[in-house]
Amino acid sequence: MFAAAAHGPALGQAPAWPQKPVRVLVGLAPGGNPDTLARMLASKWGDVFGQQFVVENRPGAGSTIAADLTAKAAPDGYTVLISDSSVITTAPHLYKTLPYDPFRDLQAVSLAVVVPMWLVVHPSVPANSIQELVALAKSRKEPMPYASSGNGSIHHITMELFKADTGVSFTHVPFKGAGQSVPAMIAGDVKLGFIGYPAAAGAIKTGRLRVLAFSMAKRSTLTPEIQTVAETVAPGFDMSAPLGVFVAARTPHELVARLSRAVNAAVRSPDLLERMAAIGMEPAGTTPEQYEKLLREEYARFGSLIRRIGMRLD
């Protein structure tokens, strides 16, 4: 049972929480979607609970370093992880061993938002459409380098799926988050990548990066003129980054429920809804039980996908 201990023995009245600052861990460098969401939620929670929620970036190993810190933290609610769901759904399929057991050591709190991605290229790439990019890639002897937010990140998996579905070749160059990968793309050190809107919006608007396609099945209201991968070169392609909130297993159920309600309230607040809409984040908000069910479904889906594309990290 996923983090069953959190719902197991009667723990009595949950202690008053929080009575001191709370660590909010993010497994990527500043500048990407998880970091952006973490800072928005931390600010909201600070107002609601009257305590500081301090965002701490601990990048590396596809966010599993931050996940492991959370898994090994005291189950008292003072260490919170904000991460894409890959620390549960894909990491076990990609790594032979993990320092934590995602279904035993972490407690799902809430799916907060769903974040789509855009496929962008450096202006030096002679392709003005996704079809032209595929044709160009197939014609080149040397594969172009592409950026991701790290080995095993959703950006990495999305591009590997894109390669498998279209029969093209690109060379993976991992970074520690969009705060590093986007500047590298702007500089032309890497030529393309799937990226969330917040990190790339400025570069897209000023022409320093060119958008070729959208990652989800339906077009984005932010960029309605941009075709999807699915409607052009890879039917059925539908990828996004679900971002959720986690704590250590065995955290008292009432405390988990309290934090889950705070996530839901935050992502539905008018000011955050407006800010999220401007950067492409779609609010979700679930109970812990609903998020656990989604994670189990995605775990099975990504296991099948990763086996199909033959992707391993060790």
Same domain, 107 and 133: no
Same domain, 103 and 134: no
Same domain, 247 and 101: yes
Q: Is residue 227 part of a domain?
A: no
Q: Is residue 225 part of a domain?
A: no
291 φ/ψ angles, rounded to the nearest 5 degrees:
-70, -40
Q: In the predicted model, what is the mean pLDDT of residues 49-54?
A: 97
Same domain, 109 and 145: no
**Domain at 122, CATH number:** 3.40.190.10
> Domains in the chain: how many in total?
2
Same domain, 205 and 130: yes
Is residue 152 predicted with pLDDT exceeding 70? yes
Q: Is residue 222 part of a domain?
A: no
pLDDT band at 13 (very low <50, low <70, confident <90, very high): low
* Beta strands 210-214 and 144-148, pairing class: unpaired
pTM: 0.85
Same domain, 103 and 124: no
pLDDT band at 4 (very low <50, low <70, confident <90, very high): very low
Q: Is residue 235 part of a domain?
A: no
Q: What is the 3 state secondary structure string of 43-99?
A: HHHHHHHCCCEEEEECCCHHHHHHHHHHHCCCCCCCEEEEEECHHHHCHHHHCCCCC
State the Cα–Cα distance between residues 24 and 156, nearest whole angstrom.
24
Same domain, 294 and 210: no
Same domain, 102 and 244: yes
Same domain, 171 and 205: yes
Q: In the predicted model, what is the mean pLDDT of residues 131-157?
A: 94
Domain end among 214, 229, 257: 214
102-131 tens-digit pLDDT: 999 999 999 999 999 999 999 999 999 999
Same domain, 198 and 247: no
Same domain, 57 and 134: no
Q: How many CB atoms lie within 10 A of CB 28?
A: 30
Q: What is the 3 state secondary structure string of 233-268?
A: CCCCCCCEEEEEEEEECCCCHHHHHHHHHHHHHHHC
Same domain, 106 and 185: no
159-193 tens-digit pLDDT: 999 999 999 999 999 998 888 999 999 999 999 99
Provide the β-strand partners of residue 241.
115
Residues constituting the chain: 314
Mean pLDDT computed over every residue of the chain: 92
Tell me which residue range forms the domain holding 292.
4-9+19-115+240-309
Angle of helix 288-309 versus helix 154-166 axis, rounded to 10: 40
Q: Is residue 104 part of a domain?
A: yes
Q: Is 188 helix (H, G, I), strand (E, B) or coil?
A: coil
State the Cα–Cα distance between residues 263 and 271, nearest whole angstrom.
14
Residue 14: predicted pLDDT? 55
Q: Is 193 helix (H, G, I), strand (E, B) or coil?
A: strand
Q: In the predicted model, what is the mean pLDDT of residues 54-73?
A: 95
Q: In what order do the strands lie in the sheet with 282-283?
A: 53-57, 22-26, 79-84, 240-248, 106-116, 282-283
Q: Which two tokens stand for residue 26?
A: 């993010």
Q: Is residue 226 part of a domain?
A: no
More confident residue, 50 or 3: 50
Q: Is residue 221 part of a domain?
A: no
Domain end among 214, 229, 255: 214
Domain end among 162, 196, 214: 214
**Domain at 287, CATH number:** 3.40.190.150
Q: Is residue 256 part of a domain?
A: yes
